[in-house]
Structure 1
Amino acid sequence: MSKSPQPVPANLPSPPVPAAKGGAVIRRVEAAQETAQERLLRKHLPAWVISGAVHVALVALLLLFAGQPTQTNASEKVIATSVEKEETEPQDNLTNEDIGLDANLESALPDKERVDERTVDEVVTTDPLGKPDVPDPDLDRNAFDLVGIPSLEANTPGLAGLEGNAISGGGNYGNMMSSFAGRSGATKSQMLREGGGNERSEAAVARGLAWLAKQQRTDGSWVFDGDHKEEIVAATGLALAAFLGAGETHKHAKKYRANVERGLQYLMRNCPVSGPNAGKFIGARTMYAQAIGALALCEAYGMTKDPALKPHAQAAINFIIRAQAADGSWGYQAGSPGDTSIVGWQIQALQAARLSKDIVVDPNCIKKAIKFLDKVGAGSRKTMYGYRDAAGAAPGTALTAVGLLCRYYVDGWGPDNAAMAEGVQGLLQRTPPRFGSKVLGNMYYYYYATQVVHFFEGEAWRTWNEGPKDPQTGKRTGGMRDWLIDLQVTKDGPNYGSWDPDSGAMGRTGRLGTTAMCVMTLEVYYRHMPLYKRAAAGDARFLEAVK
């Protein structure tokens, strides 16, 4: 270690400074050690520097002249922004800096794989289903409080639901599920166009929903204006199904969000999730009402995945399963044998539950229902259906339409099934809808038959929906779509947007029940995604059945 230098006393003279030695030698050594690279750098560096400076100057001049207006505008914007910020609160910068996320750019994906065709284009909220924001103090006092929802032992997952060929659900809470993707966004527009809907049919749906919204009571319910005023659960579920079919939920912020929320609140308040009558709707007098209420809850949950709905939807489905009779049917009351008509509504509710992929449906319940369909089915292929047995079964009746739709949902009867082809032929040829009539016929039949033929697709569907093709002009007229639209009340007044009560079973539910069924029939193009792919064999089997 080197020692620290000792301080020099002040009284001692300063030591003499040695003379510099070898200065010239040092310069000669430096010159001798200069490399070829250094000599080259010293020779050319000045030229490079000058050339680079000239190029930089030229580039600067070009940028100055080319960008002069932009710079001026930018300066003006900065000044304006500075002045504005003095008067207003600071705002977040919402500029999209990532061009890869620019919503205005065309997707690079193929048309069939476009993201916007598989997503929802509405504003989505994430608020849990809570008390409706309405001025009615009674409604606020009776509103369902979501804090501390009691658990239900029956909700514990047990038997898994059927796999089937149903399109799977999934997705995030608050987003439209893929099982119901046809009800919103670009997918809805595509299905409407490809399925044979048009602007007139959508305008009729809009008018119908506007009329239904006006009929809602302050407690969120709807009431039939016919002979079944006491079936409030059924009326509420039916009206909600019409709104849900159009993509209106309490989470997707559209025109009728508040109406749907209040309606769901009513059903939830009247569907206990625990106790001896868990899942049974309070006030529901028949299994018809039970199924329609459950259908609305299951569809709303399947479309939004709102966790507040799930306990009630599951409880309502559990009650339906417990209420099934030994022969696989459902009667007016729980546990009693029933008929094909009541079975049709239970199957629709169970199907909505299965599509949600979260609500458990006992497979044994489905198997028993299929056995009942076999019991009431007639013909070698079971293409006609009776009431409680096969007696009286005939093609082209409301019960046959109900049976065929049930087969589609629970028994795998797709558009390539020979029995389905024969059944559809019967719907078109036997007691066909009298579309030329100025009086609405049996909407119960039209509602079921329209769904069956729509799922069958092909030429049969075009004939049903748009009418037969004129061999001379090639035009189609006299179809179900235009006939139903033309019968809607479009004269100003309290009934504007509704349909007059039909001449069949729905007429007993009055204008409300008939209108809800008409709206859902005109939503057939997108209300449900097809469960099965159709091959060319579908038309071939249909033509063979017609012969």
Structure 2
Amino acid sequence: GRMYGHGQITIALCEAYGLTRDVKLEQAAQAAIRYALAAQLPDGGWRYHLPDTDESGFLESWKNRGDLSMTGWFLLALKTAEMAGLQTPAIEESFQQVDGFLDQLRIVSDNPESVDLGYDYQFNPLSPVRKFQSAISAEAILGKLFLGATPDDQHVRAVVDRLLIESPIAFPESARKSGRAVEFAAIDGRSMNHAVKNIYAWYYITQVCHHVGGRVWREWNADMCTLLPENQEAGGFERGSWSPAHDLYGVKGGRLFTTALCACMLETYYRHLSLYGMHEKN
């Protein structure tokens, strides 16, 4: 949707301005930031449209409930703006609202000792059932890290451990080449249905692991460095791309979607510094 595009373009504009200090890029980035702030919903999230309002303000409407998938892109856009030196008091206030939004979507267990249930896509007061989703939970943890959570936080560690179990980097293409199909049968089916890829989740898990550092990053990075190049198309018109086949969201996003996310994963080293310098410490 257009709102996804706006969040992603805002990231690109802010990164470009941060690298060049070009005045024209600054003007475009500032305009994109203003729109992003205007699009934030009263619950602190973002969705596929601007807020539903009238002359008295926000309306009580399902349209004014954000979803975590969209919110992650806008949070990253505003964080990129901050890193590029485009910080404003309005952005700081927006971060506080997003933090509350993420807390609202955290799946809470009746067991007070449980910290590892992850996050749901959207708050629905009419449906008490909450469903863990790998991409959404990774997006939320990345947001929490950007908003001040630390890698040694018990909740962060627990959700990361669950993500690594439920959404490992695994290609059915590799299984066919190397006879490793038995590995796919062992993957927990709650978020990956055996030989189904989840590149959208991997994109966010890569960033989370990069910031958490240590063993988590070393193990994830080792798989990523091996399996992504190994499964990149090597010939024909599709050379250099990654197939959307067997991917959870590739059916909708297509080859450009899966290729862009895989490329961004491999650019993690160059585009993002570890928030906490954990690579050096571990």
TM over 0.5: yes
Contact 1:295 1:352 in 2 (8 A): yes
The amino acid across from 1:416 in the alignment is: D
Q: Which residue of 2 aligns with 1:511?
A: 255
Shift of 1:299: 0.9
Q: In 2, distance between residues paired with 1:373 and 1:436?
A: 33
Q: Which residue of 2 aligns with 1:213?
A: none
Measured against aligned partners, the alpha-carbon deviations of 1:476-496 in whole angstroms (never above 9, x if no partner) come to xxx1321111110112x2211
Q: Which residue of 2 aligns with 1:417?
A: 153
The amino acid across from 1:358 in the alignment is: L
Q: In 1, distance between residues paired with 2:41 and 2:267?
A: 32
Q: In 2, distance between residues paired with 1:382 and 1:317?
A: 33
Q: Which residue of 2 aligns with 1:366?
A: 95
TM-score, reference length from structure 2: 0.77
Measured against aligned partners, the alpha-carbon deviations of 1:211-234 in whole angstroms (never above 9, x if no partner) come to xxxxxxxxxxxxxxxxxxxxxxxx
Q: In 1, distance between residues paired with 2:279 and 2:265?
A: 25
Deviation beyond 6 Å, 4+ runs, structure 1 = none
Q: Which residue of 1 aligns with 2:140?
A: 403
Q: Which residue of 2 aligns with 1:486?
A: 230
Q: In 2, distance between residues paired with 1:383 and 1:317?
A: 33
Residue 501 of structure 1: which of 223, 244, 247 is its match?
A: 244
Contact 1:507 1:513 in 2 (8 A): no
Q: Which residue of 2 aligns with 1:216?
A: none
Q: Which residue of 2 aligns with 1:357?
A: 85
Shift of 1:327: 0.5
Aligned positions of 1:332-343 closer than 5 A:
332-335=48-51, 336-343=64-71
Q: Which residue of 2 aligns with 1:378?
A: 107
Q: In 2, distance between residues paired with 1:461 and 1:383?
A: 21
- Structure 1: tracts of 5 or more residues without a match: 1-284, 467-478, 540-547
Shift of 1:388: 0.8
Q: In 2, distance between residues paired with 1:482 and 1:500?
A: 16
Aligned positions of 1:179-218 closer than 5 A:
none
Seq. identity, %:
35
Q: Which residue of 2 aligns with 1:387?
A: 121
Alignment of 1:432 with 2:198, yes or no, is: no
Aligned positions of 1:446-457 closer than 5 A:
446-457=202-213
How big is the alpha-carbon RMSD for the aligned residues of Structure 1 and Structure 2? 2.4
Measured against aligned partners, the alpha-carbon deviations of 1:431-478 in whole angstroms (never above 9, x if no partner) come to 433356537712101101111112111112222221xxxxxxxxxxxx
Measured against aligned partners, the alpha-carbon deviations of 1:123-180 in whole angstroms (never above 9, x if no partner) come to xxxxxxxxxxxxxxxxxxxxxxxxxxxxxxxxxxxxxxxxxxxxxxxxxxxxxxxxxx
Q: In 1, distance between residues paired with 2:198 and 2:279?
A: 32
The amino acid across from 2:159 in the alignment is: G
The amino acid across from 1:345 in the alignment is: W
Alignment of 1:347 with 2:75, yes or no, is: yes
Shift of 1:417: 2.1
Q: In 1, distance between residues paired with 2:171 and 2:65?
A: 35
Shift of 1:298: 0.9
Contact 2:142 2:204 in 1 (8 A): yes
Residue 29 of structure 2: which of 313, 334, 353 is its match?
A: 313
Alignment of 1:443 with 2:181, yes or no, is: no
Q: In 1, distance between residues paired with 2:95 and 2:116?
A: 17
Q: In 2, distance between residues paired with 1:525 and 1:424?
A: 19
Aligned length: 239
Instruction: Considering Cα pairs closer than 8 Å and 6+ residues apart, tell me whether 1 or 2 has the greater RCO.
Output: 1
Matched position secondary structure for 1:330:
coil
Measured against aligned partners, the alpha-carbon deviations of 1:39-72 in whole angstroms (never above 9, x if no partner) come to xxxxxxxxxxxxxxxxxxxxxxxxxxxxxxxxxx
- Structure 2: tracts of 5 or more residues without a match: 52-63, 109-113, 175-194
Measured against aligned partners, the alpha-carbon deviations of 1:101-125 in whole angstroms (never above 9, x if no partner) come to xxxxxxxxxxxxxxxxxxxxxxxxx
Q: In 2, distance between residues paired with 1:431 and 1:528?
A: 22
Q: In 2, distance between residues paired with 1:454 and 1:535?
A: 8
Measured against aligned partners, the alpha-carbon deviations of 1:1-53 in whole angstroms (never above 9, x if no partner) come to xxxxxxxxxxxxxxxxxxxxxxxxxxxxxxxxxxxxxxxxxxxxxxxxxxxxx
| Structure with greater helix percent | 2
Q: In 2, distance between residues paired with 1:391 and 1:311?
A: 44
Contact 2:117 2:159 in 1 (8 A): yes
Cα 1:391/1:345, change in 2 over 3 Å:
farther
The amino acid across from 1:434 in the alignment is: A
Q: In 2, distance between residues paired with 1:525 and 1:352?
A: 16
Q: In 1, distance between residues paired with 2:243 and 2:74?
A: 27
TM-score, reference length from structure 1: 0.41
Shift of 1:404: 0.6
Q: In 1, distance between residues paired with 2:67 and 2:47?
A: 6
Structure number, greater radius of gyration: 1
The amino acid across from 2:93 in the alignment is: N
Contact 2:167 2:201 in 1 (8 A): no
Shift of 1:358: 2.7
